Structure 1
């Protein structure tokens, strides 16, 4: 029973981080902190879109990495 509760507790923050990644990027201005190595090849609005998309993908990956221990525990606990 303990593993089931622990797995759900680990899953919730990870998946909510992945689901609400667009909101998180906008709220904390994470797109401003992203560096673009090839800015001279892109237009200004393409750079802004690239930075936003990259920040969103990074947030989704972080959320899924946070949820990974919960997924493993689900596989173990609900065997």
Structure 2
């Protein structure tokens, strides 16, 4: 499921008409896609769950943060 979502974001990047739409596709898929992949890895490797959970938290925090910063810089340059 995570791979499909990441592929969706990549296709959206190619098909989107402007930078805001591209950012929307990538922001969602690059946060949730890897998170779903890490949850799948946690199911298979029980002994590594704390480390994978830490990486999952970092991904879920920094993904939207980076997307917000990029969007804010895009809006500032546009003005």
Higher relative contact order (CA 8 A, sep 6+): 1
State the TM-score, normalized to the length of structure 1: 0.45
Q: Radius of gyration: which is bigger?
A: 1
Give the helix-richer structure, 1 or 2.
2
State the TM-score, normalized to the length of structure 2: 0.45
